[in-house]
Amino acid sequence: MSSPQITLQTVTGVDVELTVAGPGSRSYAFIVDWHIRLLLALQWLLVGHLVYNGGLQMLSEPRGSYVLWVWLPTLFIYFFYHPVLEIAMRGRTPGKRIAGVRLVTREGDIPGAGALLLRNIFRLLDSLPLCYLVGLATVVFTEHHVRVGDIAAGTLLVMDHDSSPTTFASTTATKSGLSPQAADLIQELLDRWPALDESNRATIARTLLARVEPQIPAEELARLGTLDLRSRLIAKLGG
């Protein structure tokens, strides 16, 4: 069965078609990540125990400091592996990279920290009653193969083709710190710049800059003329 396609309209008015990751790709990414986080947690537990206890012998009565420095970091690694790495890696984890998938919003953007945290909070529901049966059922029977956490956070898991970029903008995305989708949007706007009237240029450019540089104050964006906006976009694309 072929993976479904989803078409998203970008701010430049051009549709972008993404391939939704199916249950197989999603499960493969999860299994890889599960093994990685389990090994990392067990490694910390073993090393922490050796350092704290000076050997492999078990403690008869673990003290509070043992729980603080050995068990709490172990539990943190295991339970916060996904949200921390998804935020740090912009919608990816090591398992997702290996499986060739990534998380995006319903608009095709990189999900924000709030959405990624919400998605992982609902992982508790998706894991019920055991072995992620709720999550697996929703992935199989929903149109875009989403679990409950994706529905709550407004995210999609799509195939990630960053490893074989097809445009100049995609090849510069890593260098510039942009997502491939954002880099392609900027490149497309710059290509279409002469054909757009000044008002549309400014509106689309401000929208794009607000997305890729959310720290820019809205008043500063409003003051920028079209030449300044174009220069900022070129600089952003060039890294």
**What distance in Å separates the CA atoms of residue 165 and residue 167, rounded to the nearest whole number?**
6
Own/partner long-range contacts of 44-48 (Cβ < 8 Å, ≥24 apart): 44/70, 44/73, 44/74, 44/77, 45/70, 45/71, 45/74, 48/73, 48/74
**What distance in Å separates the CA atoms of residue 215 and residue 208, rounded to the nearest whole number?**
13
Percent of the chain with pLDDT over 70: 85
The answer to whether the pTM exceeds 0.85 is: no
> Which pLDDT score, from 0 to 100, does residue 174 have?
43
Average pLDDT, rounded, for the chain: 84
pLDDT band at 171 (very low <50, low <70, confident <90, very high): very low
> Which pLDDT score, from 0 to 100, does residue 20 have?
92
The 10 Å CB-count burial string (b at 16+, else e) for 80-102 is ebbbbbbbeeebbbebbbebbbb
> Which pLDDT score, from 0 to 100, does residue 173 have?
47
Q: Which segment of 5-14, 158-167, 194-203, 226-235 scores lowest on mean pLDDT?
A: 158-167
Q: pLDDT higher for 175 or 38?
A: 38
- Taking 3-state DSSP, the helix, strand and coil percentages for the chain, each rounded to the nearest 5, stand at 60, 10, 30
> Which pLDDT score, from 0 to 100, does residue 74 have?
96
> Which pLDDT score, from 0 to 100, does residue 78 have?
95
> Which pLDDT score, from 0 to 100, does residue 236 have?
80
Q: Which string of DSSP letters, residue by residue, matches 131-170?
A: TTHHHHHHHHHSTT---HHHHHHTEEEEE--TTS--SHHH
Could you read off the pLDDT of 77-131 as tens digits, one per residue? 999 999 999 999 989 999 999 999 999 888 777 888 999 999 999 999 999 998 8
In this prediction, residues 28-57 reach a mean pLDDT of 92
> Which pLDDT score, from 0 to 100, does residue 117 have?
95
Smallest Cα–Cα separation from 109: which of 160, 182, 171?
182
Q: Hey, where are the domains in the chain?
A: 5-159, 168-238
